[in-house]
Amino acid sequence: MNGAQGGLLMTEGPAIDTMVTLMPTSSATVHTATVRSWTASAAGLVVTSHVSATPASVAALDGQRVWVSTEAHADADGAVVPHAVFQAVAQAHREDELALTGVMLLAAETRRGAVRATTSKLAHLSTPDGDREVRTVDISRTGVRLEAGSLPRAHEEVDLSLDLEGGVEVHAHGEVLRVDDATGEAVVRFVELDRDAADALERSVLIELARQNRAD
């Protein structure tokens, strides 16, 4: 994503009536909401949005820093609108509506269904040939890129265990999509992953992206 694309996402934002997910930065709890307005300054530097949500979600998220995620889709002209993640502060506006202030674009992904973060984490990989310790190169809620001295074979099924922030451990069953012997890396797509594990992975990705954003 280049600067122009990022600026366009900030100024135009998600379309009205688009469904988004809201995740507080303090937990992996996911809420759904619907965009009702998106107001941006000319340069997209100051953005405020209003979203409708259930009263329970409004009460839970009031005063919280949140990540706001949209799904990739095609617009009316057939152009691909990226999957995007924004960060903001949520405040109760009405019983069934949140105001999102201080909105900033955290990440956008046009080629994949989930944003990913470059991060090195120790993981345990089980393959038909045995178990081994590996390290992540990048992670997302849909898959992982690994590096190891002994790589799995392409197209074989594997099981992966990964320790995340706060002592959270996730387990996933996946398929090796491709192997690059030159770089010592393999890409695994998750084919079995429960919702709680997927949300924990998403939170880990967003924590890392936010950390990298602050470092920049």
The total number of structural domains that make up the chain: 2
| Mean pLDDT per 10-residue section of the chain, whose length is 216 residues | 52 82 92 92 76 97 94 52 82 97 83 82 94 94 93 94 89 96 95 92 91 75
Distance, in Å, from the CA atom of 23 to the CA atom of 68, rounded to the nearest integer, reads 7
Q: How far is CA 146 from CA 18, 69, 106, 118, 123, in A?
A: 34, 25, 24, 11, 9
Q: Are residues 144 and 184 both part of a single domain?
A: yes
Q: Are residues 103 and 121 both part of a single domain?
A: no
Task: Look up the pTM and report it.
Answer: 0.78
pLDDT at 109: 76
Look up residue 70 and give its DSSP letter.
E
Domain boundary among 45, 80, 109: 109
Q: Are residues 16 and 89 both part of a single domain?
A: yes
Q: Is 121 exposed, middle or buried (0-12, 13-18, 19+ CB in 10 A)?
A: middle
Q: Are residues 152 and 191 both part of a single domain?
A: yes
Domain boundary among 82, 109, 136: 109
- Give the three-class secondary structure for 208: helix
Q: Are residues 70 and 89 both part of a single domain?
A: yes
Distance, in Å, from the CA atom of 193 to the CA atom of 24, rounded to the nearest integer, reads 21
pLDDT at 186: 96
Distance, in Å, from the CA atom of 46 to the CA atom of 140, rounded to the nearest integer, reads 29
Residue 124 belongs to what domain range? 117-215
Domain boundary among 83, 109, 135: 109
